[in-house]
Structure 1
Amino acid sequence: MRSAEELRYLILAAQREGNRLLGQALRPLGITPSQAEVLRILQDRRSLTLNGLGDLLICESGNSPSRLVDRLASAGLVDRQVSAHDRRHVEVTLTAEGLRLAGQIAAIEEGLYEFIDAASEGHDLEQITGFLRAFVADLPAGQALARRSTTE
């Protein structure tokens, strides 16, 4: 196996395992990792347009977050306010229950980050993250991550 192929599969394996671990931890809350990402972004930003939210998502990069937001609204976790002047302008905010759940998600994420910290001990994370940042810089998910980093 050539190095580039191994790297591709290692990145894919790490992403799948990280998402599996996160999914298992979130399951008791009744939400998916993609839904959790929406709640955490809204917790950080307080209020976003549907398009603005879509610009920050990594899990659904390039796709409209409408279905995710619809499911979260049905569960009473987010409010959607459609502008009276422009139906395309939809403002999304957390409900009190959504804010409470976002706090629980943050604690679960912290546990995952501690697991990653322990697994990466003794490795040069600056070099790894630098390479990955450069690798995705011009791609939609990399651009969404850069927007999140600069607006937090």
Structure 2
Amino acid sequence: MKPVEELRYLILAVQREGNRILAAQLRPLGLTPSQGEVLRVMHDHGPLTLSALGHLLVCETTASPSRLVDRLVGQGLLERTTDPHDRRYVTLTLTPEGRRLERRVVTVEDHLHGVLERLVAGQPLEETIRLLRNMANEFPAGQALARRRA
């Protein structure tokens, strides 16, 4: 196996396990990891248009996460507000229930981050982040993450 191939599979393995852990902890809240990400992004960057939200999500490969947002609106976690002067302009905001659930998502993420911190203790984390950031910045999901960091 080539080193770069092993790197690709190691990234995939860690991502899948992290997502599995996250999904299991979000399931009692009635959320998927993608829905949890939307709540976190909305808390950190909202209110947002659908397009602006799409440009900040790592979980979605499209700039318009309509179905994901529709489900969260249906669950009463997001609210759509149409601009009275331009009906094409719709703003998304967290509802009070969405804000409450977002705080619980933070707790779940903090637990996962604690597990990850224990696994990487003593390792060259800054170098690893720099390597992965350089790779990820070449792809839409990495670019979305860069926009969130900015």
Same-fold status (TM-score > 0.5): yes
Structure 2 equivalent of residue 131 of structure 1: 131
Identity %: 53
2:55–2:63: 8 Å Cα contact kept in structure 1? no
Could you state the TM-score of these two structures normalised by the residue count of structure 2? 0.96
Q: Give the drift of 1:137.
A: 1.2
1:46-65 mapped onto 2 (5 Å cutoff): 46-65=46-65
RMSD: 1.1
- Unaligned 5+ segments in structure 2 are none
CA–CA distance in 2 between the matches of 1:87 and 1:128? 46
Which stretch of the first structure deviates more once superposed, 37-46 or 141-150? 37-46
Conservation of the 8 A alpha-carbon contact between 1:61 and 1:144:
no
Note if contact 1:55-1:61 (Cα within 8 Å) is conserved in structure 2: no
Residue 89 (structure 1) aligns with: 89
Could you list the structure 1 runs, at least 4 aligned residues long, displaced by more than 6 angstroms after superposition. Answer: none
Given that residues 35 and 68 in structure 1 are in contact (C-alpha distance below 8 angstroms), is that contact kept between their aligned partners in structure 2? yes
What is the number of residues matched between the two proteins? 150
TM-score (norm 1): 0.94
CA distance in 1, matches of 2:9, 2:87: 43
Q: CA deviation at 1:85?
A: 3.9
The structural deviation recorded for 1:131 is 0.2
1:73 aligned residue = 73
AA partner of residue 10 (structure 1): L
Distance 2:85 2:28 in 1: 40
